[in-house]
Amino acid sequence: MAKKEEHSSHQKSEKKTVEYVLRLFITGATPNSIRAITNIKQICEQHLKDRYSLEIIDVYQQRAIAEKEQLVALPLLIKKAPLPERRIIGDLSNTEKVLKGLGLVS
């Protein structure tokens, strides 16, 4: 049990260096998909510079991953880490909504 406590206090001290793990699910080169890619890249560069990994997944090319994630609408951004996992649907043009979804603003 002591190990868990040490681990959690260690995580708190490194909070500023938390890496965000993001997955963006798109449907080919549709206008919404292109907007979502552009928007999330811009948001990440402005707010998460050097603290994120972004995987872009075209559901037409990688159906197995899409089925595993149980997608309901596209484009869809999933924040895998840090927890809790969050899902944001749409072209990600509402920066404030995306930042809230990522837990970067209250």
Write down all domains in the chain, each with its CATH number in brackets.
19-101 (3.40.30.10)
With CA atoms as reference, report the closest residue to 95 among 48, 25, 29. 48
What pTM was computed for the model? 0.81
Q: Please state the rounded mean pLDDT for residues 59-79.
A: 90
In this prediction, residue 11 carries a pLDDT of 40
What's the Cα-to-Cα distance from 95 to each of 16, 27, 44, 70, rounded to whole Å?
Answer: 21, 21, 11, 25
In this prediction, residue 14 carries a pLDDT of 43
In this prediction, residue 63 carries a pLDDT of 87
pLDDT digits (tens, 9 = 90+) for 13-35: 444 578 999 999 999 999 999 99
DSSP 73: S
pLDDT digits (tens, 9 = 90+) for 36-67: 999 999 999 999 999 999 999 999 999 888 88
